[in-house]
Structure 1
């Protein structure tokens, strides 16, 4: 037993629940049966806003975390590293001869879908560390953070589903891909719980890294794709409204 009344099993279950909550983001699509090109534009715009809001939240969390030295520089370093890695990964995927696919989707759309799932998976490493660190500080604080992240994961699952489902992925598979993207949360929560001080030191880097990856995807992929199917003013309006909503949502569950 560690961290008072909290055990490794408790931390794992809490982090697993946060991961499973991501799948709920696909539920609205049970009621939407058909998609045309307009929905691709709307979906990309809303997904961009959700990811932009989440990225801003990660940066804020990284620079305000207590008990960590040089956190601002660590966040900035993470931002640069995250954006650079996604840029390189995107170049490699686009220049390879391999035919990537998710379900029945192949080619450029499949690469885009793989990038989104991959970036959200990277994001989940930082969230898993956050859960473990929080439980290492106190059981009540850990429970609060786990609940907050679980709620926060639902719109992240929605962002993933907005990319996958209009391109031909089933609702069930989109939910499973969403949950898959959050699997690092229970994996990373346990070592972070056991070695709370060591992991907390590097948490701002992880938060910045995830934010940098998402910033790149928003402005280099999602927004340009949305503008191909939707008038630019509607793209930016939808993105702005959704990003503000996401930021306010994150602020509300953290208060």
Structure 2
């Protein structure tokens, strides 16, 4: 296979992982009504999925360089704090059919998940620079892993008024950095690989902050602490069980 063909293969593989994120909206095709209690539980589910994903990112990065992951976590925390402060100081433009505080939250969630996708795109490119078999495995793992991440995004957007198809498109949008980063990482693997654990840490730090600053407080507004805590734990277990059944690991 020529280098040009390899580049096309890497781009298509990473684009596939991006598109699968939109599948997270499918459960809402069957859910017609979301009351305040269900909205709180939806926030708890999103929190659990994001916490589980954050652990995955930290675990993956620690296998490469734990010190760079820790640096990335601190950078992610600083970035999300700065973004949150900036958004709260100014009127937030409407986004995803949302307004005011809901729009601010949507921007933060979309920003966090988009940052996350940069690291995943590098992961796809680096894996294909190893062997085609490794690249195929990593692509499949990320593609399936993206479905619950898309669900986490939709759980924040749809209950607040965003249409299902728009939420699905926004989910895909957050994963577009994957094909954009996969090809450069494939072509210049030695240059990109050192930044992978930092990128994973940045995404994890921002996601963990988002869970405890935004999603958990919202979840406890209309649901008991017991219900929210139970839902968060079950969501984490469901995510890891899903990955364990498919791949034998998370």
CA distance in 2, matches of 1:76, 1:226: 28
Give yes or no for the alignment of 1:245 onto 2:238: yes
What is the aligned counterpart of 1:117 among 92, 110, 114?
Answer: 110
Q: TM-score, normalised by structure 1?
A: 0.94
Q: 1:133 to 1:86 in 2, by over 3 A?
A: same
Residue 33 of structure 2 aligns to a residue whose secondary structure is: coil
Which ranges of structure 1 fall in alignment gaps of 5 or more residues? 66-70
Alignment of 1:43-192 (within 5 A): 43-65=42-64, 71-96=65-90, 98-192=91-185
Residue 101 of structure 1 aligns to a residue whose secondary structure is: coil
Partner of 2:201: 208
C-alpha deviations, 1:132-164, integer Å up to 9, x for none?
A: 000001111001100110000000000000000
Partner of 1:224: 217
CA distance in 1, matches of 2:117, 2:50: 13
Q: 1:17 to 1:240 in 2, by over 3 A?
A: same
Partner of 2:22: 23
Which ranges of structure 2 fall in alignment gaps of 5 or more residues? none
After the TM superposition, which parts of structure 1 deviate over 2 Å for at least 4 consecutive aligned residues? Answer: 247-255
Partner of 1:68: none
- Tell me the CA shift for residue 254 of structure 1: 6.0
| 100-109 vs 196-205, which moves further | 100-109
C-alpha deviations, 1:224-254, integer Å up to 9, x for none?
A: 1101121011111100111122234344536
Residue 221 of structure 2 aligns to a residue whose secondary structure is: helix
Give yes or no for the alignment of 1:234 onto 2:232: no
Residue 23 of structure 1 aligns to a residue whose secondary structure is: helix
Residue 220 of structure 2 aligns to a residue whose secondary structure is: helix
Residue 34 of structure 2 aligns to a residue whose secondary structure is: coil
C-alpha deviations, 1:1-24, integer Å up to 9, x for none?
A: 33xx96100000000000000000
Partner of 2:31: 32
- Tell me the CA shift for residue 176 of structure 1: 0.2
Q: Give the RMSD, CA atoms, in angstroms.
A: 1.3
- Tell me the CA shift for residue 34 of structure 1: 1.3
C-alpha deviations, 1:83-109, integer Å up to 9, x for none?
A: 11101100110111x242124320001
CA distance in 1, matches of 2:92, 2:67: 39
Report if the CA contact (8 A) 1:102-1:169 is conserved.
no
CA distance in 2, matches of 1:249, 1:200: 28
Residue 228 of structure 1 aligns to a residue whose secondary structure is: coil
The alignment of Structure 1 onto Structure 2 pairs a total of residues equal to: 247
Residue 81 of structure 1 aligns to a residue whose secondary structure is: helix
